[in-house]
């Protein structure tokens, strides 16, 4: 939460200082960022202290957060539910995403996150262009910055995240999926960043995450043309990890999440940290980071449990300690 708080406060300060403050007040109220920015450190510490209770209290009309059954304890699902707008990202959905990701980051019992949709044939259609037309340029700037920081917060969650894509994942919808660790889609998926057709560019991380995933040349072609591709093509260029028959992406994602959930939670978190942060620094520094992350696993009870389970030929019972 601290990382997102710093980003959000900085963005709101920049926007308010550089433009007419009155233009931002409606959007600030919609995103509920004024109260968020004015909260004291003690309030944040109290909020963090709620730990595992917090997932049970977070909900909004367009974003639902739920735990899976006891047999899948540790797996949580973020469900997009705005059927009237094909899960287009407006202020309410953005607010729901922000609060939901913060809640997950503060829950020590969460091991894997699935981002899904309850709307048939759509993951997320991108920005809410009807709402966007009613915003002034400063308001749009503020909104896109908030969206970018929210997706960056998603990307840096300490646990693995999986985007479950059935149908359309376009614009901001694809950018959200790009911020996840893994992407699994159905064959009928349609993925693309069509922003240049609206005379803008992908502004919530698409120009940076897509080339890191599929390579510079392929990313440029997709962004320059705004071309949409299907699930099989997406898998062939490395945009998604799996492409399965339409309607089966959720089952495949749950299968992968269960495999992850059986592993040592601290080890998974340290592996994610070493990979994600290591890619952004030079090789020598990355190897030092790997050593630091490895050391974090040595003193854990889970490491001892893993060794004991191996010797006793049984499944380990990891606790994340």
Catalytic residues: 127, 172, 175, 195
- Cα pseudo-dihedral 217, 221, 227, 228, rounded to 10: 0
Do 66 and 104 meet the contact criterion of CB atoms below 8 Å apart?
no
Q: CB-side exposure of 82: number of CA atoms within 13 Å?
A: 25
Q: How many angstroms separate the CA atoms of 287 and 127, rounded?
A: 39
Q: How many angstroms separate the CA atoms of 18 and 320, rounded?
A: 45
SS (H, E, C) the chain: CHHHHHHHHHHHHHHHHHCCHHHHHHHHHHHCHHHHHHCCHHHHHHHHCCHHHHHHCCECCCEEEEECCHHHCCEEEEEECCHHHCCCECHHHHHHHHHHHHHHHCCCCCCEEEEEECCCCEEECCECHHHHCCCCHHHHHHHHHHHHHHHHHHHCCCCCEEEEECCEEECHHHHHHHCCCEEEEECCCEEECCHHHHCCCCCCCHHHHHHHHHCHHHHHHHHHHCCCEEHHHHHHCCCCCEEECCCCHHHHHHHHHHHHHCCCHHHHHHHHHHHHHHCCCCHHHHHHHHHHHHHHHHCCHHHHHHHHHHHHCCCCCCCCC
């Amino acid at each position: 939460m601290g990382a997102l708080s710093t980003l959000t406060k900085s963005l709101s300060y920049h926007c308010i200082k550089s433009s007419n403050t009155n233009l931002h007040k409606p959007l600030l109220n919609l995103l509920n960022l004024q109260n968020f920015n004015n909260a004291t450190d003690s309030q944040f510490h109290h909020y963090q202290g709620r730990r595992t209770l917090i997932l049970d209290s977070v909900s909004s009309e367009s974003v639902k957060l739920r735990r899976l059954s006891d047999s899948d304890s540790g797996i949580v699902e973020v469900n997009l539910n705005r059927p009237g707008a094909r899960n287009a990202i407006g202020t309410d959905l953005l607010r729901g995403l922000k609060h939901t990701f913060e809640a997950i980051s503060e829950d020590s019992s969460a091991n894997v996150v699935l981002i899904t949709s309850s709307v048939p044939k759509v993951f997320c259609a991108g920005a809410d262009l009807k709402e966007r037309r009613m915003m002034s340029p400063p308001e749009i700037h503020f909104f896109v910055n908030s969206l970018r920081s929210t997706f960056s917060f998603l990307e840096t969650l300490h646990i693995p995240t999986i985007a479950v894509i059935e149908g359309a994942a376009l614009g901001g919808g694809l950018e959200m999926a790009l911020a996840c660790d893994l992407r699994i889609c159905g064959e009928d998926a349609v993925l693309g960043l069509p922003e240049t057709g609206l005379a803008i560019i992908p502004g919530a991380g698409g120009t940076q995450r897509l080339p890191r995933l599929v390579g510079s040349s392929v990313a440029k072609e997709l962004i320059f043309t705004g071309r949409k591709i299907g699930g099989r093509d997406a898998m062939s260029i490395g945009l998604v990890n799996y492409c399965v028959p339409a309607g089966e992406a959720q089952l495949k994602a749950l299968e992968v999440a269960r495999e992850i959930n059986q592993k040592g939670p601290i080890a998974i978190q340290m592996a994610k940290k070493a990979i994600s942060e290591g890619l952004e620094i030079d090789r020598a520094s990355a190897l030092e980071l790997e050593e630091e992350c490895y050391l974090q696993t040595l003193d854990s009870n889970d490491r001892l449990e893993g060794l004991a389970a191996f010797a006793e030929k049984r499944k380990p019972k990891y606790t994340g300690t």
